[in-house]
Structures are given as structure tokens and as C-alpha cells.
Amino acid sequence: MAVLIADGFYSFVVRPGPFRALRYEGHYRRGLRDGIWRVTDAEDGTPRWETTWTLGEWHGRSTSWYRNGQRIEEGEHVHGCRSGVWTHWFDTGVVAARGRYEADRKMGAWEYWNEDGESARYAEWRERYAHWDWAFDDYTGTPRGENWPHPPQQPETTNDRAE
């Protein structure tokens, strides 16, 4: 049975296992996430992720950040799938990779750089930076929010703001 979530602004904290607690903030409309949702470190407010939802589906700009405030990745979702040009960064702020997605699949030629900002061939780049899940050409997609935590049953009544 589906959980019916009341419309309104929600702000709640989740501690994902041994990791730092995260604050999720955004609106629900018709029982679904809708509009810009922000995820921040619950202790210091550092931004971790911001993505746009349209009635429960990722649809719009999405950005995620390292703990140090540098961007990890940025691009667009269309109906829950990565689409268009996405850029990925090292935690130093240097661009690591840039290329295009269609329906959550890497398409066409991608550009890669090493941590010094020098252009790199993919084979060498992949070997050196294989620990990043977005590095592989056989990319098979990411969860589209199914693993996002559910909020409390009622919207937050203080600071109910429209986005």
C-alpha cells in the first residue's frame, strides 16, 4: 500500500548508516516530490545535492557537491533520466569529465581530464580513476529517487515557503 503524503513543505533529517546526517528539504504535491529539493549536511549546512522533481520524477537541473563545497556533477534529468551535457569534477574543482547522456546512457565522444587539468585519453583516465561510478562507458543508469527516504507524515508547519 502506497504511503499518502500530505502536500506541503518538508524538512527532515536522516542518518544514512555510519555517514553524517543529511537534511532533506522540499515540497510534496499530490503525494509526490515536486519542485527543487535540497539535501544538506544536517550539522553544518554544507550543500550535498539539489535536484528538481516534477510529480515524483527527476526532471530538471541536478547538482551534487563534495563535503568541501566543490561540485561533483551537474546536468539535467528528463523524465527521470540523465539527459544532455553533464560535467563531473574532482574534489579540487578541476573538471574531470564532460559528455552527453541520452535516456541515462553515455552517448558520443566524452572529454576527460586528469587532476592537473590536462586532457586525458579515456583508457588511461579510466584506469586511474576507476573508483568513480560515472567513469565507465557501459553506464547502466542510476536510481531515480527510489532510495530517497520518506518524510514524516505531515508537512512542516513553520517556514512553509513556496519555491
User: For 10-19, 53-62, 127-136, which range has the lowest pLDDT when averaged over its residues?
Assistant: 127-136
CB atoms within 10 A of CB 16: 10
pLDDT at 143: 41
Is residue 114 a contact partner of residue 127, using CB atoms and an 8 Å limit?
no
Instruction: Note the pLDDT tens digit of each residue in 82-117.
Output: 999 999 999 999 999 999 999 888 888 889 999 999
Distance from C-alpha of 55 to C-alpha of 105, rounded to nearest angstrom: 23
Specify the fold of 49-135.
2.20.110
Average pLDDT over residues 15-26: 87
pLDDT at 39: 95
The residue extents of the domains of the chain are 49-135
SS (H, E, C) 84-127: EEEEEECCCCCEEEEEEEECCEEEEEEEEECCCCCEECHHHHHH
Q: Which three cell numbers stand for residue 112?
A: 576527460
Distance from C-alpha of 32 to C-alpha of 100, rounded to nearest angstrom: 28
Instruction: Note the pLDDT tens digit of each residue in 124-159.
Output: 887 887 766 454 443 444 444 445 666 665 555 444
